[in-house]
Amino acid sequence: IVKVSGAFVASQGCANAGTYTNTWTVNDDCGNTSAIFTQIITIEDTTAPTWSTQGGTLNTTVQCSDATALANAQAQFPVATDACDTDVTNIVKVSGAFVASQGCANAGTYTNTWTVNDDCGNTSAIFTQIITIEDTTAPTWST
């Protein structure tokens, strides 16, 4: 039996998916050759990237007067991984607007979300970060 192993042929638009086509023939003792037996191995990538940053770990609470802490919280970013795509750094962040707490306009939340796509168009679950702004500092007298 003679096997001819086919090269991987990537799908258009998805380098991680495609096919291998292997063929076999066999000769008998009298030199008769069989018809070609064909095997097609289809490789799919239907699994979305996952977050290696644990959910909730980017959530934080900062004082309304601490602009540096807020900037640091807003600069945080989750990390994603994918079983077939080694580069899933194309993470898209949607920055949420400040939503003030009822009764205290200085306190509230920012809710930021991220998603990432792999090379085959599979989209991750949404990663969410909640930044809570609080005002627990009493006024002081400047006089």
Fold classification of 50-134 (topology level): Immunoglobulin-like (2.60.40)
- Spell out the domain ranges in the chain: 2-43, 50-134
Q: What is the C-alpha to C-alpha distance for residues 45 and 19, in angstroms, rounded to an integer? A: 12
- The tens digit of pLDDT for each residue in 129-141 reads 999 999 998 999 9
Average pLDDT for 28-56:
96
Residue 86 has pLDDT above 90, yes or no: no
The model's pTM is 0.81
The yes-or-no verdict on residue 123 having pLDDT over 90 is yes
Average pLDDT of the chain, as a whole number: 95
How many Cα atoms within 13 Å fall on the side-chain side of residue 66? 16
